[in-house]
Amino acid sequence: MTSDVHEKTTGKETTETRWYISSLDLNAEQALSSVRNHWQVESMHWVLEMTFREDESRIRKGRGPLAFNVMRKIAMTLFKQEQTKRASIAAKKKMAGLDDEYRSTLLESGIKMR
């Protein structure tokens, strides 16, 4: 499978060959969807690891790992949806830890989602 890549920082167009292995019999549209879904999941896990240090968690027993995983994903969603500050998720996490008003804004935005 080949893909055209447009680099936003340089505006440069390149063609890369990317290899994917699957035992599924997919047409081109299904293969593209599968690859995009895979990288969407990988991207989410990367954010969870880099921002929340998920791999370093020492929570290993009972329902704790699942509960904390769900809480991290909720927090990540709140940080992504919050638009009053233009900052990375890591920066927003730090601001939320230091600023009661900003933390309230985050939590209230979660209530408004419904």
Local structure of residue 8 (DSSP, 8 states): T
Token pair in block for residue 74? 């909720």
Report domain extents, the chain.
24-112
Where does the pLDDT of residue 17 fall: very low under 50, low under 70, confident under 90, or very high at 90 and above?
Answer: confident
> Worst-scoring range by mean pLDDT, 2-6, 67-71, 82-86?
2-6
Q: What is the pTM of this model?
A: 0.65
- Share the mean pLDDT of the chain: 85
**Region 71-76: what's the mean pLDDT?**
91
Which residue spans within the chain are E strands per DSSP?
A: 2-6, 13-17
Query: 36: how many CB neighbours lie within 10 A of its CB?
Result: 10
